[in-house]
Amino acid sequence: MSVIAPNFKFSEFVKSILDNVFWILLIFALIGLPAAQIILFYIEMPVINGELLTPFLALTWLADPSRTLPILKAFMTTDLFKIAAFPGFGFAALIAAGTIFIERKMLAKLQLRVGPFYCGKFEGILQLMGDGLKLISKEIIIPAKADKPIFWAAPIIFVATAAAFVALIPVAPGWVVADVDVGLLAVFAIIGFFPIITILSAWSSNSKFPFIGGIRALHQMVSFEIPLILSLLGVVILTGTLNLSEIVASQSNFPWIIFLPIGAIIFFITILAELERIPFDLPEAESEIVAGWLTEFSGMIYGLVQLGTYLKLYAFAALFVVLFLGGWSGPMIWPPFPEEIITDGIVMGPITAKIPGLPIFSQEMLNGVLWFIIKTVGVIFFILLPRGVFPRIRIDMLLSLGWYKLIGLAFVNIFIALGLLYAGVLGPGGIL
Amino acid sequence: MADAIFLALSVITIGSAIAALEMRSLIYGSIALMGTLGGIAGFFLLLDSPFVAMFQLAVYVGSIAVLILFTVMLVKRELIFKKVEDKRRKFVGIALMLVFMVALGSIIMNSGIKTITTDEPAVDFRNIGADFLTYYWPALILMALILTGSVTGALILARREDVENDQRTD
C-alpha cells in the first residue's frame, strides 16, 4: 500500500486519464483547429515543385515513406540537430548519464558493495531516472542571506559553459558543432570560466562550507590550468594547427600518445584536478566540509550542477581522445551497408519495399563514432577508477604537485616535441 | 548585421564599464568588469581575429578577473572605503573623460584610418607566430626574459622557509 496516496484506485486513475484525453480532444476540436485554419489563411505557403505546399500536402509528405528518410537526412544537417542532438548536448548528456550509473555500480563493485539494485528489474538500471525525478520534484531551498541572482544563475551558467565545451569536440569527420580555426584556444578560454562560476556560486550562498570549498576549487583549477595548457603545446607544435578536427586528422597513422607520453600523463592528471575528482576532490571533500561548494544546493539546482560536472567529464575525456588517442581514426570494423537494399530494396516474399535515402549515415561516420565512443568510454573508465583506489591528498601537496612537478614535466614534454620537430622526424615536412 | 552586433557590443562594454565603477557591491562590480573584458573579446571576434579574442578571454576573463574577484572576496568593504560623495568631482571626472575621448577620437579619425580597406582576408595566426620568430625576435626574447624573471620572483616570494611542517612526509 502506497503511503503517498492511500486512497489510490486504479479504476479512478484510468477514468481521470480518459477524462483528460476527452477534454483535450474537445478543446482542440473546438478552438485549436479553427485557430490553425485562421492562421494558415493568412500565411503565404511556398510553392515546391509547382505545387502549393498546403498543410495536407506537408502531412502527406511526412507520412510518405519514400520521402521520410530524405527529410530526416535534411534535418540532420541543420545546426539545430547538431547543437541539440548528435555531436552536441543530447549525445553528451546521454554519455554523462551512462557515466553516472557506471560510476556508482563500478565503485560499489570495487568496494564489495552492491550499488544501485532495486530500481528496475536488472541491476537497478532505472536508479538514475529515479534520482532525476527525485531531484526535479524536490523543493529548491535558497539560504536566507544568499545573493539570489548569482545563486540562481551560477548552475545554469555552469551547464551552459560545459555545453559550450562539448560543442567544440569533433566526434566524426565533419560531425562537430563549432569547427573553429582556433579550437584549442577556445577550449582554454572556456576552461577559464569554470573557476569563476565556482567561486561566485560559493560566495553567493553566504555560507562557510561552500566558501571554503569554492576557494579550494579556485586554487586548484587556476593552478592546474597552467600545466594543462603547457602539456597540450607539444601536440600543437607537432601538428602546426589549433583546429581540433585537423589535429585528429593528423593522427591517422599513429596517435600522439606514442611520441608524447609525458604530455598525455600530465594532461590526464590535470584533468583529474580540473574535474575535482579523487584524489583531487578537495573542493567537495565530504568528510571535511560537508559537500564543499555544493553544500547549499538543493533540488534541480543541484541536479544542474551534477549534469554540468558530468558533461565536463565527457568533454575532457573526449579532448584527451582527440588530442592523444587519435579521435575517430581506427581500423574499419563497421560492416558496409548492404548494396542490394539500396539497389533492389528489401524483399520479403512477395513484397518488395524500396526505401530511398538509404544509407542514412556513411560507413566512415559510423565507424568513426564507434571508435570515438570506445576510446572515450575507456578514458572515462580511467578517470573513474582512482575514486575506488586512492585517498584524498592535502591541498599543499596538490599545489606543490601542480606548480613544481607538473609544470616542469610539461616543459620536458615541450622540449621532446621540439626535438622531434627539429630532428625532422615528425611535424610539418617530417619523415613520418 | 555586423553593425547591430557592434552596437550591442559597444552598449555592453561601455555599460558594464560604467557599472563596474558605480556599483556599490564590489562583487557585482568585478562581474561587470568581466562583462567589459568579454565585450572587448567580442570586438576582436568582430574584427576577424579569433586568436586575439580567445587570448583575451583566457587571460583577462579567465585569470585577471578571477584574481580581482578573489581579492575582493577577501576584503571587508567597510574597513577600507569611506563614502566620499562629491558631486563636483564626479562631474569634473566625466568632463575630463569626454575631453579625452573627443581628443583621442579626432586623432584616430585624422590618422587615415578611413582609407584602410576592410575586405582583406583575416590575418592567419601562423603569420603572427612567424613574425614573432623572425622580425620581432628581440621583443619576443625581452618578453620571455621579463616573464621568466617575474615568475621566478613570484616563486621565491611565495616560498616560506620559516614554516616547519611536522605532517609533511614528502
Query: In three state form, how does the secondary structure of B100-139 look?
Result: HHHHHHHHHHCCCHHHCCCCCCCCCHHHHHHHHHCCCHHH
Looking at beta carbons, which residues of chain B come within 8 Å of A397?
170
State the Cα torsion A338-A344-A346-A347 to the nearest 10°.
-120
Taking CA–CA distances from B27, the nearest residue in chain A reads: A200
At residue A240, what are phi and psi to the nearest 5 degrees? 70, 20
Return all residues near A168 (Cβ < 8 A) that are at least 6 apart: A176, A177, A178, A180, A183, A186, A187, A190, A244, A315
B33 located within any domain: yes
Q: Tell whether A396 lies on the interface with B, counting CB pairs under 8 A.
A: yes
CB pair distance less than 8 Å for A222 and B66: yes
Model confidence, pTM: 0.82
Q: Is there a contact between A203 and B27 if contact means CB atoms under 8 Å apart?
A: yes
pLDDT at position B164, please?
Answer: 61
Decide if B103 is inside a domain. no
C-alpha span between A30 and A10 (Å, rounded):
30
Mutation pick from A168, A196, A404 vs chain B, by most beta carbons of B within 10 Å, is A196
Q: Do B66 and A199 touch (CB under 8 A)?
A: yes
Looking at the complex, report in whole angstroms how far the Cα of residue A165 sits from the nearest Cα belonging to chain B: 14
The CATH number of residue B54's host domain is 1.20.120.1200
Say yes or no: B11 and B70 in one domain: yes
- What pLDDT was estimated at residue A315? 92
ipTM for this prediction: 0.75
Eight-state DSSP code of residue A175? B
pLDDT, mean over chain A: 85
State the pLDDT at residue B81.
58
CA distance to partner chain B, nearest, from residue A167 (Å):
16
| B77 and B3 together in one domain | yes
Stretch A109-117: mean pLDDT: 85
| Tally of domains in chain B | 2
Non-local CB neighbours of A54 within 8 Å, separated by 6+ positions:
A45
- Band (pLDDT 50/70/90 cuts) for residue A361 is confident
Residue B104 in domain: no
B142 falls in which pLDDT band (50, 70, 90)?
very high
> Does the residue B87 lie in any domain?
no
Query: Residue A1 pLDDT > 50, yes or no?
Result: no
Residues of A in contact with B63 (CB under 8 A): 192, 222
- Whether chain B has a CB inside 8 Å of the CB on A276: the answer is no
Alpha-carbon span A6 to A3, nearest angstrom: 6
Surface of A (355-384) touching B: CB under 8 A: none
pLDDT value at position B141? Answer: 93
Pairwise CA distance, residues A212 & A292, whole Å: 7
On whether the CB atoms of residues A111 and A278 are closer than 8 A, the answer is no
- pLDDT tens-digit readout, A4-23: 667 778 888 899 999 999 99
pLDDT per residue as tens digits for the range A250-278: 888 888 888 888 999 999 999 999 888 88
Are residues B69 and A196, on separate chains, in Cβ contact within 8 Å? Answer: yes
B47 part of a folded domain: yes
Q: Are residues B136 and B72 in the same domain?
A: no
Give residue-wise pLDDT tens across range A392-419: 888 888 888 888 888 889 999 999 888 8
B77 & B1 share domain: yes
A-B C-beta contacts closer than 8 Å: 66
What's the pLDDT band for A156 if we cut at 50, 70, 90? very high
| Residue A241, pLDDT above cutoff 90 | no
Would you say residue A91 has pLDDT above 60? yes
Q: How far is A223 from chain B (nearest CA, A)?
A: 10
Query: Residue A346: in which H helix or E strand, if any?
Result: strand A346-348
Residues B70 and B131 in one domain: no
Contact criterion met (CB below 8 Å) for A96 and A313: yes
Contact A135, A299 (CB under 8 A): yes
Show residues of chain A in contact with B51, CB under 8 Å: 182, 185
CB contact under 8 A, A189 and B54: yes
Measured in angstroms, the CA of A80 and the nearest CA of chain B are apart by: 21
Joined together, the cell numbers standing for residue A310 give 558530468
**In terms of pLDDT, which residue wins out, A120 or A82?**
A82
- The cell numbers describing A398, all together, are 596538490
Query: How far away is chain B from the Cα of A186, in angstroms, using its nearest Cα?
Result: 6
Q: Looking at the structure, do residues B69 and B138 belong to the same domain, yes or no? A: no
The tens digit of pLDDT for each residue in B109-133 reads: 888 777 766 666 777 778 888 888 8
Share of chain A above pLDDT 90, in %: 18
The DSSP code for B57 is: I
Question: B41-77, pLDDT tens digit by residue?
Answer: 998 888 888 888 888 888 888 888 888 888 887 776 5
- B27, B51, B170 member nearest A185 (Cβ): B51
pLDDT at A270: 92
Q: Cβ separation of B51 and A182 shorter than 8 Å?
A: yes
How far B11 CA sits from the closest chain A CA (Å)? 22
Q: Are residues B74 and B141 in the same domain?
A: no
Check whether residue B4 and residue B73 sit in a common domain. Answer: yes
Chain A (208-237) residues lying within 8 Å, Cβ to Cβ, of chain B: 215, 218, 222, 225
- Contact map slice: A 166-185 vs B, CB within 8 A: 180-182, 185
Q: Which residue of B has its CA nearest to A403?
A: B155
Cβ separation A189–B61 shorter than 8 A: yes
φ/ψ of A155, rounded to 5, equals -65, -35
Closest-CA distance, A198 to chain B, in angstroms, reads 11
User: If you measure CA to CA, which chain A residue comes closest to B65?
Assistant: A196
Which of B54, B74, B155, B165 is the best residue to mutate to test the A interface, defined by the most A CB atoms within 10 Å of its own CB?
A: B54
Q: Which amino acid is at A218?
A: L
What are the residues facing A48 on neighbouring strands? A51
Domain span at residue B154 reads: 126-158
Rg of chain A over Cα atoms, rounded to whole angstroms, equals 26
* Minimal Cβ distance to B58: which of A150, A188, A396: A188
| Cα distance between residue A279 and residue A273, in whole Å | 8
Whether B151 maps to a domain, the answer reads yes
Confidence of residue B163 (pLDDT cuts 50, 70, 90): low
Cell, residue A340: 542490394
Rg (CA), chain B: 22
Q: Is there a domain that residue B131 lies in?
A: yes
Residue A353: pLDDT band (50, 70, 90) is: confident
pLDDT score of A208 more than 80:
yes
For an interface test with A, the pick among B55, B59, B73 (most A C-beta atoms closer than 10 Å) comes out as B73
Q: In angstroms, what separates the C-alpha of A279 from chain B's closest C-alpha?
A: 16
Query: Looking at chain A, how many residues does it have?
Result: 432
* A242 vs B: CB within 8 A: yes
Lowest mean pLDDT among A172-176, A324-328, A359-363: A359-363
- Residue B120 inside a domain? The answer is no
Range of lowest pLDDT (A38-52, A220-234, B134-148): A38-52
Determine the pLDDT at residue B145: 95
**Torsion over CA: A250, B62, A403, A375 (sign):** negative
Chain B environment of A225 (Cβ under 8 Å): 62
| More confident call, A186 vs B22 | A186
Q: What is the pLDDT of residue A28?
A: 94
pLDDT at position B117, please? Answer: 67
Q: Where are the domains of chain A?
A: 139-422
